[in-house]
Copies of this chain bind each other. A is one copy, B any other.
């Protein structure tokens, strides 16, 4: 489909200088995200689910160092042999690793040393690019997409960290608060396709292993809402006692609501003037026109029940998104205080890409015919296929060019520190 044409992924017929340009573009954005961070900001870990910014910067480099340079570039010398233990995330096949929940203890190496590590790796990649493009372009491209994922995590982890601080630091100013355009109060419903459709990524362009293989799926009559749910609508749910009505909730969700005393999306607090939410630009009033974000699958599901609707399946969503351009929408272009925003919708479904990740009702399980790749990179996706749900469409923190219709993001149903939101669906 022509709509994906403006990102050129690295392949074996790409000119090395073009590969270098793509590599540099991705790697540079990571550095830009780190600019406002102190050494301490880049080191602290707010919860086991989150990682320090410094760790993201190092881990993404370790990925290139290990799977590209060590495995495919003869003579490469590791920056520091001890760092593999520190910056391997979860690849059991690569040996022991530092426990995830203790990443915040790594005050050394310093941020400056990690930046030197990045330079070391970058220099080696660039020098070996002709050879890399020839031998393992897919691993380089995987590393770049991997880095983009960590760019989004760096932002959401940083937001979570700053939220812990009673002083409420801002990483960047935000220019677009208050610019959301108000939608009409009514959702418009758009019928999707019915009958057998092909779902999943083909091999024509880069995609993660879990997006394929492409396979036949049977869609039943259904419709999708034209847009995500807004903060205004979420406030109605709160006002109608949504968080205190057990009949709306999944059983696990209700246990979670009670145990954690949940009464609003993450990052919301009441002030004398109404709800405020914490952003990467600090505390700001909740804008009723924006799409609601930082909600769990449990909350999304309860809202849908309250609204007399349901969540879309991942196949319904993907089928509808096929005709949308994944490079448009509110996505991450450069460092700054990312935040969802409604922009004027087109006719039909709006905001399918960017803004907020949309929870689907689909458990994250392998597609028919899926096999994890051999070797350590086989641990990338497959082993996470239990207990999690699929999210679609990318968010305001997703680097532009990273997401596509077949993209399957996944989180546990209680997690909500990502830019998560929802779009309703219903049976027809």
A38–B107 contact, CB under 8 A? yes
B368–A111 contact, CB under 8 A? no
Cβ-closest chain B residue relative to A363: B363
Q: Which of A17-25, A174-182, A183-191, A383-391 participates in binding chain B?
A: A383-391
A164–B105 contact, CB under 8 A? yes
**Residues A157-202 near B (CB distance < 8 A):** 161-162, 164-167, 169, 196
Q: Which of B105, B165, B167, B217 contacts A165 (CB 8 A)?
A: B105
Please tell me how many copies of the chain the complex holds: 4
**Residues A102-132 near B (CB distance < 8 A):** 102, 104-111
Q: Given contacts A105-B164, A220-B368, list 13 more A-B pairs with CB under 8 A.
A: A38-B108, A40-B40, A98-B166, A104-B104, A106-B167, A218-B218, A247-B379, A251-B383, A301-B386, A361-B365, A361-B366, A363-B365, A387-B387
| Complex Cα spacing A253 to B217, Å | 28
* A32 within 8 Å of B (CB atoms): no
Q: Which of B40, B169, B218, B249 contacts A111 (CB 8 A)?
A: B40
Cβ-closest chain B residue relative to A195: B216
* A395 within 8 Å of B (CB atoms): no
* A215 within 8 Å of B (CB atoms): yes
B386–A253 contact, CB under 8 A? yes
Selected A-B contacts with CB under 8 Å, 10 pairs: A39-B39, A41-B107, A43-B43, A44-B105, A107-B161, A216-B218, A247-B379, A250-B385, A254-B383, A362-B365
| Complex Cα spacing A167 to B113, Å | 14
| Complex Cα spacing A44 to B107, Å | 7
B38–A247 contact, CB under 8 A? no
* A246 within 8 Å of B (CB atoms): yes
Q: Which of B40, B297, B383, B386 contacts A297 (CB 8 A)?
A: B386
**Residues A200-241 near B (CB distance < 8 A):** 215-218, 220, 222
Q: Which of A86-94, A263-271, A401-409 participates in binding chain B?
A: A86-94
**Residues A70-112 near B (CB distance < 8 A):** 82, 85-86, 90, 92-93, 98, 102, 104-111
Q: How far is the CB of A132 from chain B (nearest CB, A)?
A: 26
